[in-house]
Amino acid sequence: MNVAELIERLQEYDDQMEVVFSYDYGDHCHMQAAPEIRNVDEQYIVRSDYLRMDKVVEDVSNSARLAVVIS
């Protein structure tokens, strides 16, 4: 998803609604955690075979991509 697509999706909702990020907490029942969003920033990400998803990195390599990261 890119920024334009996110903006388009968010425009469907009341602009006073709370926004959170959801992820699998990793416990035995796969509870879906929904922490408060505290930061929106540009950071570099790369694919992690260990996590089987992207991860944020400090070291910018050839494979790193710049992305908007919500945390």
Instruction: Kindly list the domain boundaries of the chain, sorted by start residue.
Output: 37-71
The predicted-structure confidence for 27-57, as pLDDT tens digits, reads as follows: 999 999 999 999 999 999 999 999 999 999 9
DSSP designation for 23: E
pTM for the whole thing? Answer: 0.75
Cα-Cα end-to-end distance for the chain: 16
Using CA atoms, how far residue 2 sits from 9, 21, 28, 30, 32, in Å, is: 11, 16, 32, 27, 24
State residue 61's pLDDT score. 86
Q: 15: pLDDT confidence band, cut at 50, 70 and 90?
A: very high
